[in-house]
Amino acid sequence: MIELPEAAVLARQTNDTLAGRKIENALAAQSPHKWAWYCGDPQQYASLLTGRTITEAHSHGGLLEITVGNAKLVFGEGVNLRYFNKGQKLPARHQLLLEFDDGSSLVGSVQMYGGLWAFPEGEFDNKYYLVAKTKPSPLSAGFDQAYFASLLEESSAKLSLKAFLATEQRMPGLGNGVLQDILFNAGMHPRKKKDSLSPEDQQVLFDSVRSTLAEMTARGGRDTEHDLWGRPGGYRTRLSKNTVGQPCLSCGTPISKEPYMGGSIYYCVNCQRM
């Protein structure tokens, strides 16, 4: 699942590669998928998008938003997006295919679930999207210590750090993937309770949220995810499915994995304290 760093990377790559490209053909919902979400009738996507030109892309949390004339295309976290040059073989199954005036294509496909929303600007009232657009990104200046302190203050004292960081869209785009290395870098266990944080701990956690996400973004996203060309990101995850059972980079203890709150957590039992 792409999260904040990968969405930022996809936005940059879209701007570099697709800005100025005119859509010659749009095909949505060609392969039926129960958990692919569209805005309105996907059969209307062709008339909404065809003949329009991509101008720019932005990320909002884990969402990628592409401006196409006076319409928007928004891709959610479970969508695989791949760009294909003219002549490259396209995948047989997909939930959205855009063909451009230079013969290249963009293909969106959903594995488990994901949104591929196209709509006239201003006509999409999805709460998840609106919240992601409104809250400050941890990579922006608006996400400062005072803001982070207010998030801590407003949330229940009983929350674990995993729940605090990765639920309720407190920090859009910060999900169960990136939180693992954020907590590793902070030296804190995902089950640690929020109310056990000292003022110094709060500072350490704030710094780790910002610096870890910035590093992931600067390196082209995590190595567990793929970019617009299908290449894995250049950021080597310290804690992920790739490193479970491997020695911790700091102390050599094998990395642990266990289920927690509807997803796996990874941690070093020696480096990350409750």
Q: Which is nearer to Zn ion, 164 or 266 (CB)?
A: 266
* Closest C-alpha to 250, from 271, 265, 236: 271
271 lies in the binding site for Zn ion (CB under 5 A): yes
DSSP 262: S
Name which of 157 and 251 has its Cβ closer to Zn ion: 251
- Contact call for residue 270 and Zn ion (CB under 5 A): yes
**Would you count residue 139 as binding Zn ion (CB under 5 A)?**
no
User: Which of the stretches 86-94, 143-151, 218-226, 250-258 binds Zn ion when contact is defined by CB under 5 A?
Assistant: 250-258
Q: Would you count residue 248 as binding Zn ion (CB under 5 A)?
A: yes
CB 189 within 8 A of CB 183: yes
Nearest to 161 by CA among 125, 124, 208: 208
Binding flag, residue 188, Zn ion (CB under 5 A): no
Alpha helices, H only, the chain: 4-18, 45-49, 127-134, 145-154, 161-166, 178-186, 199-218
| Tokens 């695989």 sit on residue | 80
Least Å distance between CB 270 and Zn ion? 4
Decide whether 10 or 248 has the Cβ nearer to Zn ion. 248
Least separation in angstroms between residue 267's CB and Zn ion is 9
Tokens of 43: 């059969």
Out of 126, 155, 242, 250, which residue is the one contacting Zn ion (CB under 5 A)?
250
* CA within 13 Å, CB half, 20: 4
Give the footprint of Zn ion on this chain (CB under 5 A).
248, 250-251, 253, 268, 270-271
